[in-house]
Amino acid sequence: MTYDGFLASLVQSKNSRCDNRITIQGEKGTIYASPTASRIDTVILDVGEKKDITVLHEYESMTYTLREIVRVVSEKDEETYRKQFKHIRNVLEVLCAARQSAGIKFTADQK
């Protein structure tokens, strides 16, 4: 994917005998997160020397998400709702475009 001033690439595999981690490379350094995106236990920043920047979480990741949803609804926080809704729509549009470019078709696509 090409953006104004930089290029992003994604490589993903179901190879179960590999170093499962997220690697984000930039011009000034690299961030490593492991073991997987759904359960990040360790985050290392490497800008010449490696530094552990892991933030320990008290609860499982979905707990924070559900608490925020409850907060937005109970406080009627429309600004946050609209911002998150826009983000979700953008993510869904990217996923849909990726699926279509891979030739994956669903029954609903024909309606």
**Which sequence spans correspond to the domains of the chain?**
1-56, 57-111
Classify residue 31 by burial, with Cβ atoms within 10 Å: 0-12, 13-18, 19+.
middle
For residue 43, what pLDDT is reported? 94
Gap between the Cα atoms of 80 and 78, Å rounded: 6
Residue by residue, pLDDT tens for the chain (111 residues) are: 677 887 777 666 655 566 678 888 988 999 999 887 777 889 999 999 999 999 887 777 678 888 999 999 999 999 999 999 999 999 999 999 999 999 998 888 887
Triad 59, 23, 102: Cα angle to 5°? 100
